Amino acid sequence: MNKNTIVVCDHIHEAGLNILQNTEDINYVYAADIDKTKLLDIIKDADVAITRSSTDVDEKFLNAATNLKAIIRAGVGYDNVDIDGCSKRGIIAMNVPTANTIAAVELTMAHMLSCMRKFPYAHNQLKNDRVWKREDWYGNELYGKKLGVIGFGNIGHRVALRAKGFEMDVIAYDPYIPSTKATDLGIKYTTNFDDILACDIITIHTPKNKETIDMISFDEIKKMKDGVVLINCARGGLYNEEALVENLKSGKIAMAGIDVFKKEPATSHPLLDLPNVTVTAHLGANTKESQREISVQSANNAIESARGIAYPNALNLPIDESKIPSFVKPYIELTQKMAFLLAQISKSEIRAIEVNAEGELGDFVDSLQTFASVGVLNVSSGLSVNYVNANFIAKEKGIDLVTKSSSNCNGYKNKVTIKITTSKGVKTISGTVFGDEVQRVIDFDGFAIDIEPKGKMIIMRNKDIPGVIGKVGNILGNHGINISDFRLSRGKDGIALAVILIDEKASSKVIAELESLEASIAIAYAEI
Ligand SMILES: NC(=O)c1ccc[n+]([C@@H]2O[C@H](COP(=O)([O-])OP(=O)(O)OC[C@H]3O[C@@H](n4cnc5c(N)ncnc54)[C@H](O)[C@@H]3O)[C@@H](O)[C@H]2O)c1
Ligand SMILES: O=C(O)[C@H](O)COP(=O)(O)O
């Protein structure tokens, strides 16, 4: 078996490591405990890498990683991943954007409360100095204070909601959201940064980029209230660190709660010498709950991308992601999975891939086509294909790429259909997304069906005569294969189609036995 190598470069929860270790077609390498210069040696064999903020995915790393197809940043911030460098090399970069949200939100509240009640002083006096002087430490309440939230995304908006629970007066600044995202939650919204600078407490939750580095510096702090409290659980350098130190020393800033530093690890940072800070060593994501979830998602996403099935939360899409509405994103993943499935059961030389997007989805058919090509070519080409090079490889192989769209989609809000033409005929598959993210295959070669595109499956076309289900069950049972779901669709002309979801892989012997059944017309095995 040709195994893909997944290298884990940083510490992730054992739940994800177990998944990698127990996946047959994956060669798993644990490299979290080795020196980063030695990592460059190991990374050369990686097809996929999993990293956290402790591994810089920079020029050196990428130059060493000559086999790399995909990288999973096991967390939110990807400011230490050279996204352009990945794109240039055809490497798909992904993050895990929401699994540590609550952990970071709660650490922010912890710093806020700790700053207001002067925990570092109170803690040190009693624990280290063994002095009981309650009169020394009068803190302040969150109740009634004005909180400025910069960045109203996954973390920022939840911090705002929790602050409302403390009956704070919360105002949000985020020029990239509609004001209603805040006001619908009962939170004030401003586009005037000075409104934030006038708050009692300010907390920042933006990504780190050219626009946000030093967003709060000497000039901004000058405009703040004397005795302001600043919290940073996002990224070091969003508040200028020199300005922080100077203004904490002068008392202009009463207290700061800091989880992140411009350069990490930060064990001799001047902020650590000040009494009026609460500090943690980039622990925002460090809850057992969040690390388990991130690790499991990272491992599953790494396996899917190693197999070329899907690239969840890809950061360097060949399309301008800001122009892709959120309802389209699950269709991108569904299209790639369905194409992968269809190509597995087509089993002959592919001549054309047609994608038909119906409903509002029609406007995005070109992007869907790219992902259909990735799905198909990952089965048929034997090459390392991703969305950066998929259409190029398809054209080189003489495969026609066709797109169609229409606004009407027969009862579904949106629908995508893939048609593959091979030397032996034509196969089609259609799918839709229910709600925000429930992906479903709804049609196979004209047979109405309802299956999740996931797992191991046998697709059987058979004569619609009595006893077929029992015979299929017997054969699978005799081989110790458990059926997890059996979906049947009756077509015209006495033909039926069954999609049988199974727990174990079906060998060629099993397929041959199914083919020998009198009712059997065509049998295929596929895995997503
Ligand atoms: N300390 C930790 O361990 C930890 C854990 C998780 C996330 N983070 C960091 O927290 C930050 C926020 O994460 P998130 O999951 O909420 O991200 P998110 O993408 O959901 O939200 C970021 C928000 O910032 C806004 N924004 C961007 N530029 C802005 C600007 N110039 N001014 C105001 N708003 C701006 C965006 O519109 C978006 O709403 C990121 O930097 C992330 O890396 C840190
Ligand atoms: O952006 C993030 O997800 C956090 O900063 C966590 O980073 P970490 O995975 O290195 O803890």
- Residue-wise pLDDT for 295-327, tens only, equals 999 999 999 999 888 888 888 876 666 677 889
Is residue 28 a contact partner of residue 21, using CB atoms and an 8 Å limit? Answer: yes
Of ligand 2's listed atoms, the one at least distance from the Cα of 234 is 5
pLDDT in tens, the chain (528 residues): 789 999 999 999 999 999 999 999 999 999 999 999 999 999 999 999 999 999 999 999 999 999 999 999 999 999 999 998 887 788 999 999 999 999 999 999 999 999 999 999 999 999 999 999 999 999 999 999 999 999 999 999 999 999 999 999 999 999 998 999 999 999 999 999 999 999 999 999 999 999 999 999 999 999 999 999 999 999 999 999 999 999 999 999 999 999 999 999 999 999 999 999 999 999 999 999 999 999 999 999 999 999 888 888 888 876 666 677 889 989 999 999 999 999 998 878 899 999 999 999 999 999 899 999 989 988 766 556 777 778 778 888 899 999 999 988 778 999 999 999 998 899 999 999 998 789 999 999 999 999 999 999 999 999 999 999 999 999 999 999 999 999 999 988 899 999 999 999 999 999 999 999 999 999 999 998
Distance in Å, CA 286 to ligand 2 centroid: 8
* Ligand 2 touching residue 153 (CB < 6 A): no
Q: Compute and round to an integer the Cα radius of gyration of the chain.
A: 27
**Architecture field, domain 319-454:** 2-Layer Sandwich (3.30)
Which listed residue (111, 282, 307, 461) is catalytic?
A: 282
Which listed residue (157, 158, 235, 307) is catalytic?
A: 235
- The neighbouring-strand residues paired with 489 are 497
Please confirm, yes or no, whether 264 is among the known catalytic residues: yes
* Ligand 2 touching residue 76 (CB < 6 A): yes
Check: complex ipTM more than 0.95: yes
Of ligand 1's listed atoms, the one at least distance from the Cα of 285 is 3
CA atoms within 13 A on the CB side of 94: 27
Taking the CA atoms of residue 240, residue 243, residue 245 and residue 249 in that order, the dihedral angle to the nearest 10 degrees is -160
Please confirm, yes or no, whether 354 is among the known catalytic residues: no
Tens of pLDDT, residue by residue over 325-375, are 889 989 999 999 999 999 998 878 899 999 999 999 999 999 899 999 989
Distance in Å, CA 101 to ligand 2 centroid: 10
- Please report, for residues 342, 349, 420, the alpha-carbon distance to residue 346 in angstroms, rounded to integers and kept in the order given: 6, 8, 8
Strand positions, DSSP E, 297-359:
350-359
- In Å, how far from its chain's centre is CA 350? 31
Which residue matches tokens 């570092």? Answer: 120
CA distance 346 to 424: 8
In sequence order, what are the residues at sequence separation of 6 or more whose Cβ sits closer than 8 angstroms to the Cβ of residue 278?
111, 114, 115, 119, 120, 255, 256, 257, 258
> Among 498, 497, 462, which residue's Cα sits nearest to residue 483?
498
**439, two tokens:** 């992906």
Please confirm, yes or no, whether 52 is among the known catalytic residues: no
CATH topology of domain 4-95+289-307: Rossmann fold (3.40.50)
CA distance 196 to 200: 9
**187, two tokens:** 């939170």
Q: Any idea how long the chain is?
A: 528
> SS3 for 7?
strand
Distance in Å, CA 282 to ligand 2 centroid: 7
Which residue matches tokens 């895995």? Answer: 527
Nearest CA to ligand 1 atom 42: 77
The answer to whether domain 456-528 has CATH 3.40.50.300 is no
Which residue matches tokens 């060629």? Answer: 508
CA distance 459 to 525: 6
CA distance 171 to 55: 35
Distance in Å, CA 460 to ligand 1 centroid: 48
Residue 386 identity (one-letter amino acid): N
Domain boundaries in the chain?
4-95+289-307, 101-279, 319-454, 456-528
**Is there a shared CATH topology between the 4-95+289-307 domain and the 101-279 domain?**
yes
Of ligand 1's listed atoms, the one at least distance from the Cα of 152 is 39
Q: What's the pTM value of the predicted model, to 2 decimals?
A: 0.76
* Ligand 1 touching residue 468 (CB < 6 A): no
Is residue 70 a contact partner of residue 36, using CB atoms and an 8 Å limit? Answer: no
Task: Identify the pLDDT of residue 384.
Answer: 66
Of ligand 1's listed atoms, the one at least distance from the Cα of 238 is 41
Strand positions, DSSP E, 407-454:
414-422, 425-434, 438-444, 447-451
CATH topology of domain 101-279: Rossmann fold (3.40.50)
Distance in Å, CA 73 to ligand 2 centroid: 9
